[in-house]
Chain A
Amino acid sequence: MKKLLIAVAVLAVLFSVTPAQAQLQSQSGINVTVNVTQTETITLTQNGGSLTIDPTTGQSNSITFNAVWNIGPANSMRLYTYFSSATAALSTTGGNNVASSQITASIVSPEASVNGGVCNQAPGVGSGVIDGASCPAVDLARVGDSSLSNTGANNNGPQGGTNVTFSLTIPNFAAQRFAAGAYSGTLNAVVIAL
Chain B
Amino acid sequence: MIRKRLFAVLASMLLVVAPSFANVASNTTSTPVNLSIAESVSLSLSTNNITLTTTSPSANVTLTTSWVLKPGHTSGKIYSWFTTLPTCGSCAGNPQITQAFFSTQYNGGAVTQCTQADFGTGFGFPTKNCGVFTLAQNVGTDLNDSASTTLTVNFNQQANTAPVVGTYTGGLLNILFQVV
Contacts and interface: CB of A to CB of B under 8 A. Distances in A.
Contacts of B34: 50-53, 182-184
A34 B3 CA distance: 34
A189 B38 contact: no
Contact of A72 (B11, B20, B29): B20
A53 B30 CA distance: 16
Given A43-B26, A183-B37, A29 B9 contact: yes
Interface stretch (A9-17, A107-115, A173-181): A173-181
Contact of B32 (A30, A126, A186): A186
Contacts of A69: 26
Residue with the greatest number of chain B CB neighbours at <10 A, chosen from A43, A67, A170, A180: A180
B28 interface: yes
A31 interface: yes
B32 A179 contact: no
A27 B5 CA distance: 11
Given A23-B3, A36-B16, A191 B26 contact: yes
B14 A32 contact: yes
A122 interface: no
A51 B32 contact: yes
A51 B25 CA distance: 24
A35 B16 contact: yes
Contacts of A126: 23
B13 A32 contact: yes
For the residues of A in contact with B, the DSSP-based class is strand
Interface string A64-92: 01010101111000000001000001101
A183 B143 CA distance: 15
A168 interface: yes
Contacts of B94: none
**Interface size classification for chain B:** 35 or more
Given A32-B12, A94-B70, A128-B28, A178 B37 contact: yes
Contacts of A146: none
Nearest to B23: A192
A192 B24 contact: yes
Contacts of A34: 13-16
Interface string B73-87: 000000000000000
A60 B28 CA distance: 21
Contacts of A189: 28-31
Nearest to A168: B33
Given A31-B12, A179-B71, A180-B39, A127 B29 contact: no
B18 A35 contact: yes
B25 A42 contact: yes
A179 B36 contact: no
9 contacts: A29-B10, A35-B16, A38-B21, A46-B29, A52-B33, A94-B71, A179-B68, A179-B143, A193-B22
Given A60-B33, A90-B35, 20 more contacts: A30-B9, A32-B13, A32-B14, A33-B12, A43-B27, A49-B31, A50-B31, A50-B33, A51-B31, A51-B34, A53-B35, A74-B24, A92-B70, A96-B71, A126-B23, A127-B25, A128-B28, A170-B35, A188-B28, A193-B23
